[in-house]
Structure 1
Amino acid sequence: MAALVDLIAVALLNVYAVVLIVLRARLYGARLYRPMLVNVALSFVPVVGALAAVAGLLFLAPALTALADLLQGVVPVILWGYLTLATLLWLLFFPNAIYLITELNFSHRGADDRVPLWFDIIQTLTLTLSGIMNAIASLLIVQSEFIVLIADPTGHGSGAPVFSWVFAGAVIVLGALGVYLGRYLRFNSWDVRHPASLVRKLAGHLREPGRALELGGFVLTHALLVALVYVPVFTLFYRALFE
């Protein structure tokens, strides 16, 4: 029940962000900044993807159990193949949630903008928080899924397994890297279809003076921010659900 309430709260935060974006245009006669609306939708995709992966697993597991006698030795391969594919697809869109941190640059605001600064502050902050919470919610779902599948999480009282924290840490760092690639090299999740072009552009970018240091600083600071929010949230969730 608590997990459902949390998910509803995250969804409402996204709705609030959309409402503020639309109200900005309606109340002050400003241009509707459509890229923000697109970014809100994209940032919620990882949450939908994580829920879809769990739903698919709940459907697949009973079917594989029923066919266990016919598919001896193949069931684990199918199960882990599904999980690997679902996780990789989810990971491709995970940076879209963290990306909303970069909206705090107020690039949508003009010098002669009639919108009060206080409104843009709360609107942009809500947008950013919705992205962070989307990232946290989706990672929380996926990390919990792996814990349930790999280890018995109940009754130990020793916290989440170390392997799950390693997984979460790697995802957060990759997510921050994805944000950098999106903000500075304008890559999208679907550009992974052209890995050679991605590597070539990144290599050229890093050859520019100071870019490698900038990349390291960007990834480190963004990853630490998300981690410092995620760790206590997941710890509370884990204790409430499993201990």
Structure 2
Amino acid sequence: MIVLLAAAAVFALDVYAVVLVLLRAAVYRVHLYRPMLVNLGLSFVPVPLSLVAGFGFLLFVHYRSHPLESASVLEGVLAVMALALPTCAWLLMFPNSVYLITELNFSHRVENTPVPLWYDIVQTLALTLSGIANAILSLAPLQMFVIIGQQNGNQVTVESWVFSGVVILLGAVGVYLGRYLRFNSWDVRHPVSMARKLSSHLRERGKGLEALGFVITHATLVALLYVPLFLFAWGSLVAAGL
């Protein structure tokens, strides 16, 4: 029940953020800032992907636990693909959720805009919180699947925390690449070009230290929000007889 309530709350926050963006244009007669809607849509994509990846993980764990009973080589390959493909897709899309933190720069506001500052504060904060909520909602189920797959009872394992920590850190790296180098998740199709641009960027004076500070700061913020919420959700599931 708590999982459904959490999902409903996140969905409601997403809808609220969309409504505020649309009302901004309709009420104040300004240009609709479509990038916000696009970014919000991209931030939600990791949520369904995480569920697919989670079931792929459980399928892989089942195959690994019963390799000689009835599974063929083809079934083993399919089990690996069921885990690898959605997990890679989810990991590539995950930074789009925490990316919404950067919307707090208010780049959508122009000089002499009729939109009150208080409205843009609430709208942008709702957008940012929805992105963080989407990130948490997509990461938490996968960490739970990792715990369940390890068959350690109701204990939150160190391995699951390492998994989440690495994902959060990579998410912060993705946000930096998206904000400062304008990379998108699908740019991984051109790894050589990405590596060349990143290398050139980091060779600029002070950019390496700036990148490190950005990643650590953003990852720490997400971790501080994620850890207590995950522990609360996991404790509630355990108490409910998971």
| TM more than 0.5 | yes
Q: Is 1:177–2:173 an aligned residue pair? A: yes
Shift of 1:82: 2.3
The structural deviation recorded for 1:86 is: 2.0
User: For residue 214 of structure 1, what is the aligned residue in structure 2?
Assistant: 210
Equivalent of 1:241 in 205, 230, 237: 237
**Equivalent in the alignment of 1:111:** 111
Give yes or no for the alignment of 1:165 onto 2:156: no
Output the TM-score relative to the length of structure 2.
0.91
**1:84, 1:67 → 2: CA distance?**
18
Query: Using a 3 Å threshold, how does the CA distance of structure 1 residues 12 and 118 change in structure 2: closer, same or farther?
Result: same
Q: Which deviates the most, 57-66 or 21-30?
A: 57-66
**Residue pair 2:96, 2:175 contacting (<8 A) in 1 also:** yes
RMSD of equivalent CA atoms: 2.4
Runs (5+) with no aligned partner, structure 2: none
Separation in 2 of the partners of 1:57 and 1:166? 16
Deviation track 1:191-235 (CA, whole Å, cap 9, x = no partner) reads: 111111111100000010010011000000000000000000001
Q: 1:83 deviation in Å?
A: 1.7
| Paired letter, 1:84 | A
The number of equivalent residue pairs is 239
Q: Which position in structure 2 is the counterpart of 1:125? A: 125
Distance in 2 of aligned mates of 1:143 and 1:63 = 19
Q: What's the counterpart of residue 192 of structure 1?
A: 188
Contact 1:64 1:75 in 2 (8 A): no
**CA offset at residue 90 of structure 1?**
0.5
Bigger mean CA offset, 60-69 vs 120-129: 60-69
Q: Secondary structure at the match of 2:108?
A: coil
Give, in whole Å, the separation in 1 of the partners of 2:78 and 2:94.
24
How far has the Cα of 1:145 moved from its partner? 1.1
Q: Is the 8 A contact 1:44 1:131 kept in 2?
A: yes
Q: Any conservation in 2 of the 1:182–1:188 contact (CA below 8 Å)?
A: yes
Residue 80 of structure 1 and its aligned partner are, at CA, apart by 4.1
Task: Check if 1:6 corresponds to 2:6.
Answer: yes
Structure 1 unpaired stretches of 5+: none
TM-score under structure 1 length normalisation = 0.90
Residues 235 and 65 of structure 1: is their aligned pair in 2 closer, same or farther, counting only changes over 3 Å?
A: closer
Identity of aligned residues (%): 55
Could you say if the C-alpha distance between residues 64 and 149 of structure 1 is closer, same or farther in structure 2, counting changes exceeding 3 Å?
closer
Counterpart amino acid of residue 150 in structure 1: Q
**Alpha-carbon separation, structure 1, partners of 2:9 and 2:100:** 18
Local SS of the residue matching 2:45: helix
Change (3 A) 1:80 1:148: farther
1:229 aligned onto 2:225? yes
